[in-house]
Structures are given as structure tokens and as C-alpha cells.
């Protein structure tokens, strides 16, 4: 199964997207203490 999470960051009025897949750790500039992988997030859906 293909799992993907997209994180958007607002920069100078435009959104920049960063995609994370499957077992990648999600990296967020806003929530730097976040320690989840994509599969963990989508397992709750």
C-alpha cells in the first residue's frame, strides 16, 4: 500500500509542499517535536 502525507508551509503568501511516504519520519518546521512516521498517522484513519 502506498501511504503519503503532505505538509504545507506558508512562505511569503504561497504554500510550499513537502511529501513524506510510508515509513519516512514527518518533519515539520512548525511542530519540530513531532516524532511520527506516515504509517502511524494514517493508521488512525
Per-residue pLDDT at 45 exceeds 70: no
> What 3-state class would DSSP assign to 39?
helix
Residue 15's pLDDT is: 96
> Which residue do the cell numbers 501511504 mark?
3
Instruction: Report the C-alpha gap between 33 and 44 in whole angstroms.
Output: 20
pLDDT of residue 16: 96
24-41 pLDDT per residue, tens: 999 888 888 989 999 988
Query: Does the predicted model carry a pTM greater than 0.75?
Result: yes
- What separation in angstroms does the CA of 25 have from each of 12, 14, 44? 26, 24, 16
Phi-psi domain of 23 (left: phi exceeds 0; alpha: psi -120 through 50; beta: other): alpha
Asked whether 28 and 34 are in contact (CB, 8 A), the reply is yes
Question: Could you tell me what percent of the chain has a pLDDT over 90?
Answer: 60
Amino acid at each position: 500500500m502506498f501511504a503519503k502525507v503532505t505538509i504545507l508551509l506558508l512562505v511569503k503568501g504561497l504554500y510550499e509542499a513537502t511529501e513524506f511516504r510510508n515509513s519516512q519520519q514527518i518533519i515539520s518546521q512548525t511542530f519540530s517535536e513531532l516524532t511520527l512516521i506516515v504509517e502511524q498517522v494514517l493508521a488512525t484513519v
